[in-house]
Amino acid sequence: MKRIAIIGGGISGLSAAFTIEEKRQSGTEVRYVLFESSPRLGGVLVTDHVDGCLVEAGPDSFLTEKPWAADLCGRIGLGDQLIGSNDSERKTYIVAKGKLVVMPDGLMFMVPTKIISTVFSPLFSWRTKMRMAAEWFHPPHKASEDETVAEMVRRHYGPEMVELLADPLLSGVYGGEASGLSVRAVLPRFADMESKHGSLGRAMLESRKQARKKMGAAANVPARPLFTSLKDGMQQMVDAVVARLDAKALKTSAVVQSVIRQDNGWTVCAGYQTDQFDAVIIATPAHAAADVLESTDENLARDLSEIKYSSSVTVTLGYDEKVRRALPPGFGFLVPRSEGHRMLAATFVHNKFPHRAPENRALVRCFLGGARDEPILEMGEKEILEIVRGELRQIISLNAEPLFARVYKWKSAMAQYSVGHLERLQRIEALRQKLPGLALAGNGYNGIGVPDCVRSGTEAAGKVLAEMGMWSSA
Ligand SMILES: Cc1cc2nc3c(=O)[nH]c(=O)nc-3n(C[C@H](O)[C@H](O)[C@H](O)COP(=O)(O)OP(=O)(O)OC[C@H]3O[C@@H](n4cnc5c(N)ncnc54)[C@H](O)[C@@H]3O)c2cc1C
């Protein structure tokens, strides 16, 4: 009987465990033990129910175009529980000079594709609008080296685009800043489009045309929602995976201190106990993977520790019907750094996922922290709430007393793919290959979103099973 240890019980580790569980149930001679340091499984996927509202402490949904999370939901019997974002209400604002300005129609992740709506948008200066027009004639360019997202966006559209769009969008998704994140790792499609087409705007339109052509006869099929989630919140996914795992194999409140390579396998040390395994999947943040691998391979541990993480805080406030009627329509707003606020973004949850708040409630979810504001993690909840309420007052004139408030802190949970990330991953992979039976999963490597984490866990399980001759196409 082969034994596999999984370290980390977030969605990456759970996806790995579920993949092995499926094999076990189909008769493969394999067992696993999942070690999770906290008392609960799920990592940053946490859903609370407060006053009839569904409050997401971590992720609230995932991108529909990345299939792996929805696939997992299908495998765990939640296919009919998937819901889409209410895209008929999709409208996002940018805070500019203290006011909410609608993001112009046709912006595809910061790339303008509709000239008219961009030209008439009060968001950009004429100088930037001229840059956008000129961008259409950008010649193909293949950067010889990796660069930051800010450098690439500045080259195409100028500095205002970085400040008003690239930076706030990346703080929303990565808790990071455009001047710190690698374009090749974070927006590989942009690097590709630039080398083939030159202009990002033309490339975006071309890819949309190709996608439509591919759909061909299915052109009348309604567009899929941008975001997918679960009726009962993201935690539903965790609960359903856990219910399908072998309960005896799940060890919570079990902090793994080290995993040590030995002649015939691996020793996992957790607390005062050690246990032997044939393979190990480390599905923790990369900094925790570095710590547990320190005594096995210090070079690997060093490369892993160089993958930086930022922290974030989410604050959800519930309000009454009067506030709901007064709040602007749309999904929410992003706050550029130049506005001088600590809040990075806010979501009007009752519009994005209407069933998450009864009709007589408004639900506003705010994001703080990120690469530039680590100190906020040290503040007390009361202080954080004061900041959030003060900024909501300034930005959207929201003075009302909330009916409830919830603050969640996530320390070092969001990986920051800095320039050179892909080269670092190559080094990590080369070192990992010298350690048979080791696989890495999680948000530190090839994607930070929930679907990428599910894929990484599933692939990690496939990899170790294949090494043991138990998987034909890993
Ligand atoms: C606030 C927030 C909002 C987000 N929003 C979205 C979103 O809307 N959509 C989206 O797709 N993605 C979103 N993300 C990103 C996504 O949720 C995460 O990248 C993903 O869930 C990470 O899963 P994971 O299992 O790799 O890591 P984690 O969830 O961090 O789990 C890792 C687990 O490892 C455990 N661990 C660590 N060290 C040890 C050890 N030594 N021994 C044992 N266990 C250990 C930890 O306790 C933890 O439970 C968001 C993330 C955050 C923080």
pLDDT tens track for 251-274: 999 999 999 999 889 999 998 899
Residue 15 phi/psi, 5-degree rounding, is -65, -40
Average pLDDT over residues 101-117: 85
> Which 3 state secondary structure label does DSSP give 167?
helix
- 163, 338 Cβ separation under 8 angstroms: yes
Q: Where are the alpha helices (DSSP H) in 343-407?
A: 349-352, 381-396
Q: Is 347 in the pocket of ligand 1 (CB under 6 A)?
A: no
Ligand 1 atom closest to 367 (CA): 1
Question: Which pLDDT does position 474 carry in this prediction?
Answer: 43
Residue 412 has pLDDT above 90, yes or no: yes
First CA to last CA across the chain, in angstroms?
20
| pLDDT band at residue 216 under the 50/70/90 scheme | low
* Mutate-to-test residue for ligand 1 from 54, 284, 315, 376, highest number of ligand atoms within 8 A of CB: 284
50-59, 200-209, 220-229: segment of lowest average pLDDT: 220-229
Residues 6+ apart with CB under 8 A from 141: 194, 195, 198
Residue 219 has pLDDT above 60, yes or no: no
| Separation between Cα atoms, residue 401 and residue 334, nearest integer Å | 23
> Which 3 state secondary structure label does DSSP give 270?
strand
How far, in Å, from the CA of 300 to the mean position of ligand 1?
21
Residue 214 has pLDDT above 80, yes or no: no
Instruction: Judge if pTM exceeds 0.75.
Output: yes
How far, in Å, from the CA of 186 to the mean position of ligand 1?
18
Question: Which pLDDT does position 473 carry in this prediction?
Answer: 57
Q: Where are the alpha helices (DSSP H) in 401-472?
A: 421-433, 450-467
Alpha carbon 419 to its chain's center: 18
Helix axes 68-75 and 450-467, enclosed angle (nearest 10): 70
- 363, 51 Cβ separation under 8 angstroms: no
The DSSP annotation for 127-152 comes to HHHHHHHHHTTPPP---SS--BHHHH
Residue 217 has pLDDT above 60, yes or no: no
Q: Is 414 in the pocket of ligand 1 (CB under 6 A)?
A: yes
Residue 360 has pLDDT above 70, yes or no: yes
pLDDT tens track for 372-390: 999 999 999 999 999 999 9
pLDDT tens track for 149-195: 999 999 999 999 999 999 999 988 888 999 999 999 999 999 999 99
Q: Is 171 in the pocket of ligand 1 (CB under 6 A)?
A: no
Residue 211 has pLDDT above 80, yes or no: no
Question: Which pLDDT does position 91 carry in this prediction?
Answer: 92
| Separation between Cα atoms, residue 402 and residue 392, nearest integer Å | 11
Ligand 1 atom closest to 38 (CA): 47
pLDDT tens track for 417-445: 999 999 999 999 999 999 999 999 999 99
213-217, 315-319, 455-459: segment of lowest average pLDDT: 213-217
How far, in Å, from the CA of 43 to the mean position of ligand 1?
5
* Mutate-to-test residue for ligand 1 from 450, 452, 454, 455, highest number of ligand atoms within 8 A of CB: 450
Strand order in the sheet with 404-416: 99-102, 92-96, 332-334, 345-348, 361-369, 308-320, 404-416
Alpha carbon 29 to its chain's center: 34
Q: What single-letter amino acid sits at 341?
A: H
Question: Which pLDDT does position 112 carry in this prediction?
Answer: 85
Question: Which pLDDT does position 141 carry in this prediction?
Answer: 84
Residue nearest to atom 27 of ligand 1 (CA): 10
Q: Beta strand 62-63 with 227-230: parallel, antiparallel or unpaired?
A: antiparallel
- Count of other CB atoms within 10 angstroms of residue 219: 8
From the list 349, 336, 344, the residue with the least C-alpha distance to 388 is 344
- 284, 250 Cβ separation under 8 angstroms: no
Tokens representing residue 320 in the block: 């009454």
Question: Which pLDDT does position 42 carry in this prediction?
Answer: 98
Question: Which pLDDT does position 173 carry in this prediction?
Answer: 83
Q: Is 201 in the pocket of ligand 1 (CB under 6 A)?
A: no
Ligand 1 atom closest to 35 (CA): 43
Residue 86 has pLDDT above 80, yes or no: yes
The DSSP annotation for 292-361 comes to HHTTT-HHHHHHHHTSEEEEEEEEEEEEEHHHHHHSPSSSEEE--GGG--S--EEEEHHHHSGGGS-TTE
* Mutate-to-test residue for ligand 1 from 44, 252, 310, highest number of ligand atoms within 8 A of CB: 44
Question: Which pLDDT does position 257 carry in this prediction?
Answer: 98
| Separation between Cα atoms, residue 78 and residue 232, nearest integer Å | 11
pLDDT tens track for 325-339: 999 999 999 999 999
Half-sphere exposure of 247 (CA within 13 A, CB side): 3
Residues 6+ apart with CB under 8 A from 395: 95, 98, 100, 333, 335, 341, 343, 346
| Separation between Cα atoms, residue 117 and residue 113, nearest integer Å | 9
How far, in Å, from the CA of 147 to the mean position of ligand 1?
26
| Separation between Cα atoms, residue 62 and residue 132, nearest integer Å | 30
Q: Is 42 in the pocket of ligand 1 (CB under 6 A)?
A: no
Specify the length of the chain in residues. Answer: 474
Residue 218 has pLDDT above 90, yes or no: no
Residue 454 has pLDDT above 60, yes or no: yes
Q: Is 256 in the pocket of ligand 1 (CB under 6 A)?
A: yes
Q: Which residue has the higher pLDDT, 104 or 368?
A: 368
Ligand 1 atom closest to 313 (CA): 1
Quote the mean pLDDT of the chain.
Answer: 94
| Separation between Cα atoms, residue 439 and residue 434, nearest integer Å | 11
How far, in Å, from the CA of 413 to the mean position of ligand 1?
6
Q: Is 59 in the pocket of ligand 1 (CB under 6 A)?
A: yes
Q: Is 312 in the pocket of ligand 1 (CB under 6 A)?
A: yes
Q: Beta strand 82-84 with 308-320: parallel, antiparallel or unpaired?
A: unpaired
Strand order in the sheet with 227-230: 62-63, 227-230, 82-84
Residue 220 has pLDDT above 70, yes or no: no
| pLDDT band at residue 450 under the 50/70/90 scheme | very high
> How many angstroms separate the Cα of 323 from the Cα of each of 326, 329, 346, 364, 405?
5, 12, 15, 10, 15
pLDDT tens track for 13-65: 999 999 999 999 999 999 999 999 999 999 999 999 999 999 999 999 999 99
